[in-house]
């Protein structure tokens, strides 16, 4: 009976030892597997970071070295995409600064061209307006008609027609010689009757209307001219 008890106790101890060893092996395998997964995850993260860094560098160099293949908007989009990565890489940070400086210069050039185009368009509009007579087209045409009349009687008729648009024959006519800011220099003042007689005799109309002041009846009470 005692031998049986001893055998049973021995068997139990062996079983416990076997179970413990199995647990040790299992835990060891689990820890080894966990460490391997961590290493793989770390390696994958490092690889992804390297790929992002390489692409970011390539994009930044493409921006810096671009000679017109990309639009400004495309380069700005690339730069913004790189900056969103927040890469802690000094080379990338230095390239970002270079790219920003280049794009700032390009934006300034674009704005300058826009302003130059706007000024050119305004100049062309003014010149076109002058060619077409501007807002005082009818007045200019009446002056030109007097100067280009074929004979005296026709010229006198054109003078009467022109005077019909004025408040009176003595309406002042100012001829601008020069201007600087708000300072204006005029020729000796004359009247519309005297000016019309002058261009009739000269057979040419050397000035165009710069400004006209109208009375309450829509008649011209003052005329400002400038050389064509």
CATH number at residue 139: 3.10.450
Q: What percent of the residues of the chain are helix, what percent strand, and what percent coil, each to the nearest 5?
A: 70, 15, 20
Q: Is 213 helix (H, G, I), strand (E, B) or coil?
A: strand
Q: Is 227 helix (H, G, I), strand (E, B) or coil?
A: strand
Whether residues 83 and 57 fall in one domain: yes
Whether residues 123 and 165 fall in one domain: no
The verdict on residue 152 lying in a domain is: yes
The verdict on residue 92 lying in a domain is: yes
Whether residues 198 and 168 fall in one domain: yes
The kind and range of the H/E element at 179 are strand 172-180
What pLDDT score does 131 carry? Answer: 60
Q: Mean pLDDT score of the chain, rounded to an integer?
A: 86
The verdict on residue 6 lying in a domain is: no
For the cut 80, the answer to whether the pLDDT of residue 161 exceeds it is yes
pLDDT band at 8 (very low <50, low <70, confident <90, very high): low
The verdict on residue 15 lying in a domain is: no
Whether residues 121 and 140 fall in one domain: no
Whether residues 142 and 213 fall in one domain: yes
End-to-end C-alpha distance for the chain, whole angstroms: 140
pLDDT band at 31 (very low <50, low <70, confident <90, very high): low
Rounded Cα distance between 13 and 52, Å, is 58
Rounded Cα distance between 162 and 141, Å, is 9
pTM over 0.85: no
- Lowest average pLDDT, out of 43-57, 60-74, 124-138, 141-155, goes to 124-138
Rounded Cα distance between 174 and 213, Å, is 12
The verdict on residue 13 lying in a domain is: no
Whether residues 156 and 127 fall in one domain: no
Question: pLDDT tens digit string along 80-107?
Answer: 999 999 999 999 999 999 999 999 999 9
The verdict on residue 126 lying in a domain is: yes
Whether residues 70 and 125 fall in one domain: yes
**Domain termination residue (choose one: 132, 161, 194):** 132
Whether residues 138 and 114 fall in one domain: no
Residue 215: domain span = 134-227
Burial class (CB in 10 A: 0-12, 13-18, 19+), 15: exposed
Residue 17: count of CB within 10 angstroms of its CB: 10
Quick one: average pLDDT of 102-126? 90
C-beta of residue 223 within 8 angstroms of C-beta of residue 209: yes
What pLDDT score does 21 carry? Answer: 62
Percentage of the chain beyond pLDDT 70 is 81
The verdict on residue 17 lying in a domain is: no
Whether residues 80 and 123 fall in one domain: yes
- Lowest average pLDDT, out of 27-41, 47-61, 135-149, goes to 27-41
**Domain termination residue (choose one: 91, 106, 132):** 132
What pLDDT score does 152 carry? Answer: 94
Whether residues 127 and 181 fall in one domain: no
**Domain termination residue (choose one: 112, 132, 152):** 132
Domain count for the chain = 2
The kind and range of the H/E element at 225 are strand 220-227
Rounded Cα distance between 100 and 79, Å, is 8
Whether residues 144 and 98 fall in one domain: no
Whether residues 61 and 139 fall in one domain: no
């Amino acid at each position: 009976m005692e031998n049986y008890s001893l055998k049973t106790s021995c068997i139990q101890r062996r079983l416990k030892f076997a179970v413990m060893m199995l647990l040790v092996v299992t835990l060891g395998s689990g820890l080894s597997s966990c460490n391997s997964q961590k290493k793989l995850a770390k390696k994958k993260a490092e690889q992804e970071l390297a790929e992002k860094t390489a692409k970011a560098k390539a994009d930044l160099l493409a921006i810096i070295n671009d000679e017109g293949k990309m639009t400004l908007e495309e380069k700005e989009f690339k730069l913004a995409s790189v900056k969103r990565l927040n890469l802690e890489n000094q080379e990338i940070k230095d390239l970002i600064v270079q790219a920003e400086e280049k794009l700032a210069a390009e934006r300034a050039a674009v704005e300058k061209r826009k302003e130059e185009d706007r000024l050119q368009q305004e100049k062309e509009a003014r010149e076109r307006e002058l060619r077409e007579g501007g807002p005082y087209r009818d007045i200019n045409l009446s002056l030109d008609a007097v100067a280009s009349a074929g004979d005296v009687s026709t010229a006198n008729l054109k003078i009467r027609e022109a005077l019909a648009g004025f408040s009176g024959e003595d309406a002042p006519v100012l001829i601008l010689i020069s201007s600087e800011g708000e300072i204006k220099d005029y020729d000796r003042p004359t009247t519309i009757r005297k000016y019309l007689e002058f261009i009739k005799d000269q057979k040419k109309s050397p000035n165009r209307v710069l400004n006209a002041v109208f009375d309450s009846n829509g008649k011209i009470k003052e005329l400002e001219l400038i050389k064509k």
